[in-house]
Amino acid sequence: MNRSTLNKAVELRHELHAHPELSGQEVWTKKRLMQFVEDNSGLELYDRGEYFYAVYRSPAAKRPGIALRADFDALPMEDEITAPYRSQIPGVAHKCGHDGHAATLCALAAELEELAPDRDVTLIFQHAEESGAGAKTCKAVLEENDICEVYGYHNQYGEPLGKILTRPETINCASRGMAIRMIGEPTHASLPENGKNPVFALASVVQAIPKIADQSLYRGLLLCTVVQLDLGDHAFGMAASDGVLRCTIRGEYEAELDRLQAELEACARAEAEKYGLQLSFSYEDVFPESRNHVSGVEKVIQAAQDLGYAWEILKEPYKGSDDFGYYTKIKPGAYFFVGMGLETQGHHTVAYDFNDESIPYAVELFKKLIMMQ
């Protein structure tokens, strides 16, 4: 990778880090990324409102194109790093490395014309990964262009710098934010018999979770994590009459996650009926399983070997979710991880920062995938 390109990419990454924007609000971020691509390449730019993509058009394309994706949204967190480029936006920070992913794809854009591949290359700059909404929209790019495969990467803390990690089948679990709401009837706290309190019904659902989500009953990894139980008000004279149980459910296989969801809903219905309560369900932050194709994984590993990188086939998927799975539902491809160094801090922590030294590793691997037959 050209040193000048790397320096520009690092400078860009620091700009992005200092000006983070939440999912669905990435106005400045998208504009800055588009400006970088325009200033440093001759790629065609396609503005799609919340996101954009850039295309290298091969003058003598001999085979179908390839797509590469990077996300660029931030998290609702504080930034406690001491670097001069720390977040300037209170309560918002790049704590998952999406600033680095976007800078990596920009660096690749700057070097594509020199690489001169014999096929078109589409670079997807995606919004709203953290909410699971971005890829659902951006996947249209794969159908609008002559693309036969798609790849993406994520930085990985606690792994040797530049090490490549991937696996066939599920690499990131599917997940959903599930809310179970029960509404009864209010009454004075001294006359509970005159009202309908959802506390006992919701408590029964909570107590049933270990049995319903028993890992031994499922083929793949499965989890149900209670994140909030919200009941009544801070009013000692009133019995609770409205309550919400919020859980994150996640699984290696979407079919098994559907089964878990159905069983939780059935349990909630039985309890609501028992106590005469109104019942409703809602879902948000819905992520698919990110499922890799064997052919894509084989190419990622071959590229790593050709470059002399350390690599590993993961035995189990990561429990966390990523909406990249929407792309591989449409086209073959793979998602992989690039090590950030053994001493790096974990994702979604206030001390986390993307390691700029990992950018060349990702750029060069993307180049190998582009040129690979």
Write the pLDDT tens digit of every residue in 106-120. Answer: 999 999 999 999 999
pLDDT score at 191: 97
CA dist., res. 174 & res. 155, Å (int): 19
User: Please, are residues 328 and 292 in contact by the beta-carbon 8 Å criterion?
Assistant: yes
Q: Which residues of the chain have pLDDT under 70?
A: none
CA dist., res. 278 & res. 180, Å (int): 11
User: Please, are residues 174 and 321 in contact by the beta-carbon 8 Å criterion?
Assistant: yes
- Total number of residues shown for the chain: 373
Region(s) of the chain under CATH 3.30.70.360: 174-287
CA dist., res. 6 & res. 359, Å (int): 8
**CATH, domain range 174-287:** 3.30.70.360
DSSP secondary structure code for residue 159 in this structure: B
CA dist., res. 361 & res. 83, Å (int): 23
User: For residue 166, what are its two tokens?
Assistant: 């991937």
pLDDT score at 62: 86
311-313 and 164-166 beta bridge pairing: parallel
User: Please, are residues 246 and 172 in contact by the beta-carbon 8 Å criterion?
Assistant: no
Residues 6 or more apart in contact with residue 47 via CB below 8 angstroms:
34
pLDDT score at 262: 98
* Amino acid occupying residue 40: N
Distance of CA 296 to the CA centre of its chain: 19
pLDDT score at 102: 99
User: Please, are residues 147 and 122 in contact by the beta-carbon 8 Å criterion?
Assistant: yes
pLDDT score at 61: 87
CATH number of this structure's domain 3-172+289-371, picked from the four choices 3.30.360.10, 3.40.50.2300, 3.60.70.12, 3.40.630.10: 3.40.630.10
Residue 315 burial (10 A CB sphere; 0-12, 13-18, 19+): exposed
Which of 269, 299, 154, 134 shows the shortest CA–CA distance to 204? 269
Stated as kind and residue range, the H or E segment containing 295 is helix 294-307
Distance (Å) of CA 14 to CA 8, 50, 130, 192, 204: 10, 22, 20, 58, 49
Region(s) of the chain under CATH 3.40.630.10: 3-172+289-371
pLDDT score at 33: 98
- Report the predicted TM-score, pTM, of the whole model to 2 decimal places: 0.96
* Amino acid occupying residue 23: S
Phi, psi dihedral angles at 264 (to 5 degrees)? -65, -40
pLDDT score at 59: 93
pLDDT score at 2: 96
What digits encode the pLDDT tens for the residues 315-347?
999 999 999 999 999 999 999 999 999 999 999
